Chain A
């Protein structure tokens, strides 16, 4: 990746923590500790005039006394003091600021004025700023945890931009627990300078990000967001909170009352190719499929299942979402019929009548993927306890290790016995879901994304 104006912020070679603290209860300790205790290999300088050393490193009284260059300054001192620091940063040649400090526009008029001044000052020095009022960020690709949450998620290709700091932290924990890989997690804070639009442009160029997920409460500059998002070809997913419009005003025009804020956001997202999802679960279900699966060429789904009930629910879920579950062609039918008992009828969904041997799942998956009239495949296994859930899962993984051009999603239904399977699927980059509806929703979003790319004239 060639250099980007946000590199010093998100991929800094050196970091100064202004307000680093010895007190483990303070944010100034936590962030400094997290930067040091993960895998970041750049230079880290604690800045605090009252300490000699923190966590075994020499502490500097101010920025000017740091011997080396500083790309990024993390600010964890009170708002009024933070303002004075900007001049020091400018004189030191700091390129980016991550302002953790709160007490700006989120607290009212006075804070708003302070934030405007901060914005003006940093801009005058040409310094880019995340926040203020951010909970920091994580960039897994360089092992940097510049946030207050102690652990980083597994390495992955999803980058998350969050207007809610707490949500970004909770998500980090959730991603770790569910073996979901992430690349960057960014709490945008008050967005005085760096906004979603800047980050979209950054992630479009970032080789380590394949899918961009967002949590948005409100955009400051909607038109700029559309402009940036329209240029992005990577999948973008967003939650837009604050959808309900309680107390809609009595509009003077029909258009005024019909085009309420949420309806306009909805259109703007669609217009710029951003997939809107309702909640966190749906967002990461879709993100998992998008960062691992190829583009579907259409909406025809083949379903393989070891039980009828799951298969029917799956085809209902697909059709309800505008997908087709068509008849399989005669070659596919013949290929699958060979694998199954004579009484099993070969239709779509394919019901293996309780068989889930490695061989059957592997050959059936192969036949379905090879079917020219099928665009996506959903593999389902309902765990009844008498068979090994891992066996058909391995078959799916092994088929996908062969070159394959179609998206595949897996749905393994069961409890504790499925945990190992889930882990194995995630490690092998197979999108895995616990219900057919979630798997169908992930497929739907893949198809919607493909539609956006077609509109953006990106060839399949």
Chain B
């Protein structure tokens, strides 16, 4: 399987009307500082490579970078580490998304059922509790809302202890758009929009991973 780099993956999602946070590719520290200035601080700096899938596990993600100096430093550190694995690695500078409720939206091509869509709570909930719901694609908006309502952590997406609930319609849109993408492109084997930041209004995909059939 071929792994799209983060920027390619997010561009593909964006072309299916899925909101992603803006990002610019940079080859080295100087370019990174420029890109960061253009996007506005704080920024996130991540490795950009089709060969490095678990970038945060390798320490190749730096968040909340406040200044051009810091951007240069972070870029230097990440790119040096990354080149050891992938000589073609560059970096991507992205605006820091406002913290929100993290969820995962994903898809894969199942050998028996074809494209399937997945939704779950993000972060620790998906890793430890595997709190997810699944549907065989295609799905419509109503089915997507049903998926969202089905997970155990659903209450955390609603008004809870004075905290406002998140925009489940926006999340449903993300799922429906992923479903459209999976139905249209049968070369996509696996897809993660993870995390998707869900807000009171709207939702933004902050990181994405897409695997294509060779």
Contacts and interface: CB of A to CB of B under 8 A. Distances in A.
B130 A267 contact: no
Interface string A250-290: 01111110110101111110010000000000000000000
B111 to A, nearest CB: 8
Given A264-B134, A267-B133, 11 more contacts: A218-B112, A252-B3, A252-B190, A252-B211, A254-B104, A254-B192, A256-B211, A258-B126, A258-B132, A264-B113, A267-B134
A322 interface: no
A265 B191 CA distance: 19
Nearest to A257: B130
A220 B110 CA distance: 12
| Interface of chain A: mostly helix, strand, loop or mixed | helix
A226 B211 contact: no
The 9 closest A-B pairs by CB, nearest first: A255-B106, A222-B113, A222-B112, A267-B134, A253-B190, A253-B192, A256-B190, A255-B118, A264-B110
A389 to B, nearest CB: 43
Given A252-B53, A267-B133, A261 B110 contact: yes
Interface in B1-43: 1, 3
Interface in B99-138: 104, 106-108, 110-114, 116, 118, 120, 126, 130, 132-136
A219 interface: yes
Nearest to B111: A261
A220 B192 CA distance: 27
Contacts of A222: 110, 112-114, 136
Interface string A399-443: 000000000000000000000000000000000000000000000
A360 to B, nearest CB: 44
Contacts of A255: 104, 106-108, 118, 190-192
A223 interface: yes
Contacts of B111: 261
Chain B's interface size range is 20 to 34
B209 interface: yes
Contacts of B1: 252
Contacts of A265: 112
B136 A226 contact: yes
24 contacts: A218-B112, A222-B114, A226-B113, A226-B136, A252-B190, A253-B192, A254-B192, A254-B194, A255-B108, A255-B118, A255-B191, A256-B211, A258-B118, A259-B118, A259-B132, A259-B134, A261-B110, A261-B111, A261-B112, A264-B112, A265-B112, A267-B133, A267-B136, A268-B136
Interface in B199-214: 209, 211
A244 B1 CA distance: 26
Interface in B166-214: 190-192, 194, 209, 211
A394 B113 CA distance: 49
Contacts of B110: 222, 259, 261, 264
Given A255-B190, A258-B130, A271 B209 contact: no
Contacts of A271: 135-136
B193 to A, nearest CB: 9
A1 to B, nearest CB: 30
A223 B108 contact: no
A252 B209 CA distance: 9
Contacts of A221: 112
Nearest to A218: B112
Given A223-B136, A267-B135, A256 B113 contact: no
B176 to A, nearest CB: 15
Contacts of B104: 254-255
A33 B96 CA distance: 77
Nearest to A267: B134
